[in-house]
Amino acid sequence: MRFLHCSDVHITEDYFALPLRKLGWRRWVALVELTAGGRAKAYRNAQATLSTIAREAGTHGVDHFILSGDLTAYALEGEFRAARAALAPLAPTPARCTVIPGNHDVFTPGAARSGRFAQHFGDLLESDLPEYRREGAFPFVRLVGEGAAVVGLCSARPLPTPGLSYGSVGPAQLEGLAALLKDARLDGRAILVVVHHAPRSSANHADGWHHGLHDADALLKLLPGPRFAVLHGHIHQRYHHPATPERPHLFGAGSSTQAGKEGYWLIEVQDGVVVGGTKHVPAL
């Protein structure tokens, strides 16, 4: 079986064409990152790049497409609409596509309160085993064929101020994950757990407090060995830490649409085990 994993596509509106009042003060701060930081230029073609990656899922014979969060730059309505349009070949069928939110998708309290991500992608939060939900839609489960399951977690939560981007899965979702892993319907399946924040950096260390997944160790402890993989984004580097007897495979998709660094993983599953992955660059 084959899975395509991408992340951090950051589809970006033209912020300078919008009234400042509509943006709100958090996005005013973000304008520095968009301009001086070069983010607007880096993601100018993000929607087209994501569309290309979605089409290439068919070319590669992918069984399931996974996007591990940060669909938007700063959680504007138009950015969500554009992300949904880019995924049009896949998104109408939850059995083919898993998408979870990232911290940029809940960038403002208003976006979080209104459930803006769920307004556009709520149909992709359905679960084949809904009895294990503990926090809203999470964790949700997709049974993919006879040999794999994809589990979606949410680590993205509204934070008090720009500049902080840490996350946590939380005890409720971890308890739900622990319970579903004991379900006999998952026996013999590889388990791909999708979360936005990175359990480990590219150097195989815990990420910084202000940026990292605060309950990474608790998550990894539940997923020992090559039957399991954690697929994440958040860190804009593409890397793979192979599984150990104590820990799952870790696949960081980086930023799949960042100009000059475009790319994604094709992850292979065989006989109920994750056997590895290869990096691919979209044909733009």
| Residues 107-147: tens digit of each pLDDT | 999 999 999 999 999 999 999 999 999 999 999 999 999 99
- Of 28-32, 140-144, 267-271, which gets the smallest average pLDDT? 28-32
What is the spatial distance between Cα 201 and Cα 191, in angstroms, rounded to a whole number? 21
Contact 121, 102 (CB under 8 A): no
How many residues does this entry show for the chain? 284
**Mean pLDDT value across residues 181-205:** 98
Q: Which pair of tokens denotes residue 45?
A: 């073609």
For residue 156, the number of C-alpha atoms closer than 13 Å in the C-beta half-sphere is 28
pTM of the model: 0.97
The mean pLDDT of the chain is: 96
48 with 283: CB under 8 angstroms? no
Give 162's pLDDT tier (boundaries 50, 70, 90). Answer: confident
Residue 139, preceding bond cis, omega within 30 degrees?
yes
